[in-house]
Structure 1
Amino acid sequence: MFWHLGDAWARRHEPNVELVHYDDLRADLGGQMRLLADRWGVAVPAGQWPDLVEAATFGRMRERADQLAPDTLGVLRDRRAFFRRGGSGQGRDLLDPAGLARYEERARALAPPDLLAWLHRDA
């Protein structure tokens, strides 16, 4: 995961790379969608925005998990579980303090501080 993130982070200023933080999508999905559409030059009629934003909400995507959750290898027992709770930092709930410390140490070894600050800003 950090290899992929680090690659995107290193290229984030290139015109064909856009990093979007999940917390920003949760805070202002419509605004983030408009920023992306503007960046990519996608014209969307104003009347279609409400339906598009609603379709992209966590709840609606979870309702359509059978169509939207990636499972090319057929390993998911429940595609809805792919969407879980819809919050950032859920993995912290699975780790005890020692496990969290190990994760943080490993993350610091694999990713630059500015990427980690962006990624873990809710911590």
Structure 2
Amino acid sequence: MKNRKLYLGPLTDNRRWDMVRIRPDDVFVVTPPKCGTTWMQTIVSLLFSGDPEVETELSLKMPWVDNRIREMPEVAERLEAMKHRRSMKSHTPMDGLPLDDHAQYICVFRHPLDAHFSFRKHVKNIPMTWFDSWFPENDEEGITFRRFLDGGAEGFDGDAMPLAHILQHYKAAAAVSDRPNVSLFHYADMKRDLKGTFSRLADILDMTYSEAVMEQLVQAATFDNMKDKAERYAPSGGKGFFRSDAEFFHSGTSGKWLGKLTVDELANYDSIMNAYLDPKDRAWLEYGSRGKVDT
């Protein structure tokens, strides 16, 4: 943990990374939850294999190392035994990860409000009760959004993904984004140009395929295909972990929050965003490379 910030919650523990021996060609997918993590992992898996029918098995082949559910010695042993190029997932901000000079770090972000509303759906689809008090079934008093705004970036709060945790992720990634092995992607850009996302990532990973193969890989990673084959593409898909594998891919849309927040709730959100980010950074974090587009 030398020179790394501690992130420790009921679900995650970034000290677990101390047991991973990093290889120079490793690929880290680093995101706040519900920001396109599984989507980006799937793209990496497809590019690694060049096979649109690859069985991704993300939970085993590209494990979430921070997750305390699996015993870390078993995860570390499985990673060490891998002979192929490896990829790993993390929901820990970059200042809590081991930063290797050669491994690639792929950081993915999404509009914080979209990520929040997607996370609301997510916690109802998993058999865990840790965050029930944050996400009550009947929330007439707006408890869930208040805790999203006032929760801290670390500890128990961090695992419930409040706004502070998302902002910490972004600031930590932006602080090292000048390094050649750290790349920032945005969910909105991935939706607008999935083919371009594949092309950019293939360049980063130094992988080349024919145009025909790339078209097949892109098609495999479309939202509709991943939802139709949810047992294949959802983490631990087909194993009964989620109440519904298909519901893991609920809609894939942006603007989930429109019409669902009060004027005061939006004003409080705006106040925090403006206090922590300059206008350029806020525009990117919310809307990607194009910024906000008026319609």
Question: What band does the TM-score fall into relative to the shorter chain?
Answer: 0.7 to 0.9
Deviation at 1:94, TM superposition (A): 2.8
Call closer, same or farther: CA 1:35–1:19 in 2, change over 3 Å: same
* Counterpart check, 1:29 vs 2:194: yes
**Is 2:174 aligned against 1:9?**
yes
Distance in 2 (CA, whole Å) between partners of 1:36 and 1:93 is 35
Please list the CA deviations of residues 43-68 of structure 1 after superposition, one character each: whole Å capped at 9, or x if unmatched. 12322111100011111122233333
Aligned to 2:153: none
Structure 2: which amino acid aligns with 1:53? V
Residue number in structure 2 paired with 1:80: 246
Choose the corresponding residue for 2:274, options 108, 120, 123. 108
- Whether the 8 Å contact between 1:12 and 1:19 is mirrored in structure 2 is yes
In the alignment, what sits opposite 1:39?
A: 204
Paired position in structure 1 for 2:219 = 54
Total equivalences in the alignment: 121
Does structure 1 retain, via aligned residues, the 8 Å contact 2:195–2:218?
yes
Deviation at 1:92, TM superposition (A): 3.4
SS in 2 for 1:90: coil
Quote the sequence identity (%).
35
1:89 aligns with 2:252: no
Greater fraction helix: 1
- Conserved in 2, the CA contact under 8 Å of 1:58 and 1:86? yes
Q: Aligned-pair distance for 1:76?
A: 4.2
Q: Distance in 2 between matches of 1:97 and 1:103?
A: 10
Q: Tell me which protein shows more strand as a share of its residues.
A: 2
Give the Cα–Cα distance (whole angstroms) in 1 for the partners of residues 242 and 277 of structure 2: 29
Indicate whether 1:98 and 2:264 are aligned: yes
Q: Which structure would you say has the larger Rg? A: 2
Residue 100 and residue 75 in structure 1: after superposition, are their counterparts in 2 closer, same or farther (change >3 A)? Answer: farther
Cα 1:30–1:77 change in 2 (3 A) is same
- Report if the CA contact (8 A) 2:198-2:218 is conserved: yes
Opposite residue 52 of structure 1, the aligned amino acid is: L
Q: Give the conservation status (yes or no) of the 8 Å contact 2:283–2:292.
A: no
SS at match of 1:14: coil
Q: Secondary structure at the match of 1:20?
A: strand
CA distance in 2, matches of 1:93, 1:78: 26
Work out the CA distance in 1 between the residues paired with 2:253 and 2:279.
Answer: 22
Deviations 1:51-91 (A, max 9, x none): 100011111122233333347xx874333233222222323
Q: Residue type of the partner of 2:181?
A: N
Q: Distance in 1 between matches of 2:268 and 2:181?
A: 34
Paired letter, 1:80: A
CA distance in 2 between counterparts of 1:46 and 1:91 reads 37
Q: Is the 8 A contact 1:9 1:115 kept in 2?
A: no
Corresponding residue of 1:63 = 228
Alpha-carbon RMSD: 2.4
Gaps of 5+ in 1: none
User: How far apart in 2 are the matches of 1:3 and 1:77?
Assistant: 30
- CA distance in 1 between counterparts of 2:271 and 2:241 reads 30
